[in-house]
């Protein structure tokens, strides 16, 4: 029986069994777990028991393992042989790596904004406004989500779905480390004005300045996260 400790969060898991749905069961299970991880309800280091989870979600071990594999490929989970799967724990070098990726991809995408596909620029502005609106409502988790949309929209300026895809994985992984910030509100809030500034430069056709601003922005965010990581762990 479930003697293991991690029974709290398992209990509240549910899987939408509605309709036939185009996607597979494993994909839906992966979606549920992905939300739990990115929303911080499943913390890094937690072990995901095949038996407990399978029972809670009402799926077989084989399908559950399929969902695990999907999330392992996205780097949200890690698989240790004969020991199980765990929510990924990011180290300092992982954070540096993530920002190295983002500096290359996001800044370069900004510089190419002049050749951006139709509608891509508008999605950048929409993400900025989404964040500002959420801040006015004091909905801080949504501010964080809007911030992710902003950066995803910047990558979208390059017009490559493969680049969008790689960026979305990196941004999801990024959420594994946001929870170390003691004051997430202040952390995300500070970047609202930065996003607006970059957006305005972009619509002014000053792509090079926008890219430079974003680079300073990413440097600062990396510095803050590394500091928080080394402080407590």
Instruction: Count residues binding a copy of itself (CB under 8 A).
Output: 30
The strand order across the sheet containing 84-87 reads 47-48, 84-87, 77-80
90 neighbors 176 (Cβ within 8 angstroms): yes
The neighbouring-strand residues paired with 77 are 87
Q: Which is nearer to a copy of itself, 66 or 142 (CB)?
A: 66
- List % helix, strand, coil for the chain (3-state, nearest 5): 70, 5, 25
Q: How far is the CB of 177 from DNA (least distance, A)?
A: 24
Binding mask 78-117 for DNA (x = CB under 7 A): -x-xxxxx--------------------------------
Of the candidates 148, 141, 144, the residue with the CA atom closest to the CA atom of residue 168: 148
Q: Specify the residue for token string 């890690």.
A: 78
Q: How far is the CB of 24 from DNA (least distance, A)?
A: 4
Q: Which is nearer to a copy of itself, 40 or 159 (CB)?
A: 159
71 makes contact with a copy of itself (CB under 8 A): no
Q: Which is nearer to a copy of itself, 73 or 179 (CB)?
A: 73
Residue 55 interaction partner, one of a copy of itself, DNA, none, beta carbon < 5-8 Å per kind = none
């Amino acid at each position: 029986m479930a003697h293991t400790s991690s029974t709290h969060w398992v209990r509240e898991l549910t899987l939408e069994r509605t309709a036939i749905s185009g996607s597979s069961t494993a994909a839906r299970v992966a979606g549920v777990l992905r939300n739990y991880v990115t929303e911080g309800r499943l913390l890094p280091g937690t072990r995901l028991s095949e038996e407990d989870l399978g029972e809670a979600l009402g799926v077989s071990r084989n399908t559950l393992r399929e969902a695990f594999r999907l999330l392992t490929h996205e780097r949200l989970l890690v698989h240790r042989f004969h020991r199980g799967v765990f929510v990924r724990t990011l180290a300092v070098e992982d954070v540096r790596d993530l920002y190295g990726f983002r500096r290359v991809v996001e800044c370069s995408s900004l510089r190419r904004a002049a050749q951006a596909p139709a509608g891509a620029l508008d999605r950048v502005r929409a993400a900025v406004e989404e964040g500002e609106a959420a801040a006015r409502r004091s909905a801080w988790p949504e501010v964080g989500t809007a911030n992710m949309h902003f950066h995803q929209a910047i990558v979208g300026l390059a017009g490559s779905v493969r680049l969008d895809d790689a960026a979305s994985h990196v941004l999801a992984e990024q959420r594994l480390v946001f929870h170390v910030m003691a004051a997430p509100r202040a952390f995300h809030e500070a970047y609202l004005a930065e996003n607006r500034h970059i957006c305005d430069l972009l619509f002014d056709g000053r792509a090079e300045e926008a890219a430079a601003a974003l680079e300073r922005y990413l440097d600062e965010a990396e510095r803050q996260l590394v500091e928080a990581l080394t402080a407590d762990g």
